[in-house]
Each structure stands twice: as structure tokens, then as C-alpha cells.
Amino acid sequence: MRMPNNPPLIALCSENSAKIKSTKEICSQAFHNFSLRCYAVSSGVSETPDTDEEALAGCHRRIENLEAKLGGEVDVVIALEGLTEKTSYGTFLYGWAVLKNIADGRMYYGCSGKIMLPADVAVGLSRNLKLSDLVLEKFASVSRQ
């Protein structure tokens, strides 16, 4: 059982360094003091979802899976899911964030703006491949710096 005077304990459903960094930045703006724990949690959806419904389902599954594992040990659980959308104008990248307040069970949602992917990245997209792995493959010389 968490003590009410302790700083919020936040669980992130990811061990991805970019997601950890962005979560720390946002949480530091929302809380004067907090603790962040990060966990690898399965989403049960494809590696690169291509619909809002699939990405949100992945966030919900991550939260459910982690909450079942941790019980009431945390105050907030956060799941982040990136996805792509193909349109007649190009392929766009964006993401969903879902936060669950464990005390009252309420869920909060946020969605980023969309950015067009370069055509040579978009052509390599696959639902079975993490977008981050594709980017590292395409831009290996930049990622090593």
C-alpha cells in the first residue's frame, strides 16, 4: 500500500530510451517530485500499429498487463504507442499516450501531432517491424553519433 505523503510512483510500460526520456520530461513539469519505474510490457498488437483503435488497444493491454503484475504498488501507469497512417498525401507518424490513475481507475488520453515520414522510410514499414528498428537501419551512420 502506497503512503499518501510519498512522491507519486509512476510506472511506464516501456524500456525504450526515447519514451523514458519524454516521460521524465513531462512528469517533471507535472510533479515537483516523483519516481519513475520502467517495464517491458507486451501490447498484444503489431509492432507498428496503423490505426488509432489498434494503438489504443495496445496501450490498454500494456496497462492491464502491468497493473496485474504490480498490483497497487504504483500511483500512475503510462503506456505510449506509436503508429503510422497512410494517406494519399503520404505516410504519417504519430503517437498515443494513455495514463491510468490507479487510485480512482480513471484513464486519460493524449495524441501527438502527425509528421510525414520520408518516402524511403515509409516504403520499408511493416506491421511486424518496430519503426525504431527501421529508422536505425536506414540511418545507421546518424544513430551512431
What are the CA-CA distances from residue 6 to residues 10, 29, 74, 76 (Å)? 12, 18, 11, 13
* 5: pLDDT strictly greater than 90: no
Distance of CA 30 to the CA centre of its chain: 18
Quick check: 52 pLDDT over 80?
yes
Please report the pLDDT score of residue 15 as a whole number.
95
Question: Residue 130: what pLDDT?
Answer: 81
- Confidence grade of residue 3 (pLDDT, cut at 50, 70, 90): low
Tell me the per-residue pLDDT of 30-44, one tens digit each, with 9 for 90 and over. Answer: 988 999 999 999 999
Residue 141 is predicted with a pLDDT of 65
Q: What is the pLDDT of residue 129?
A: 80
Q: What is the pTM of this model?
A: 0.88
Mean pLDDT of the chain: 90
**For residues 122 and 107, what is the distance between their CA atoms, to the nearest angstrom?**
32
Are 21 and 56 in contact by the 8 Å Cβ rule? The answer is no
C-alpha cell belonging to residue 26:
513531462
Q: Which three cell numbers stand for residue 47?
A: 509492432
Total Cβ atoms within 10 A of residue 74:
21
Class of residue 7 by CB neighbours under 10 A (exposed 0-12, middle 13-18, buried 19+) = exposed
Q: What is the pLDDT of residues 71-129, one digit of tens each?
A: 778 999 999 999 999 999 999 999 999 999 999 999 999 999 999 999 988 888 887 88
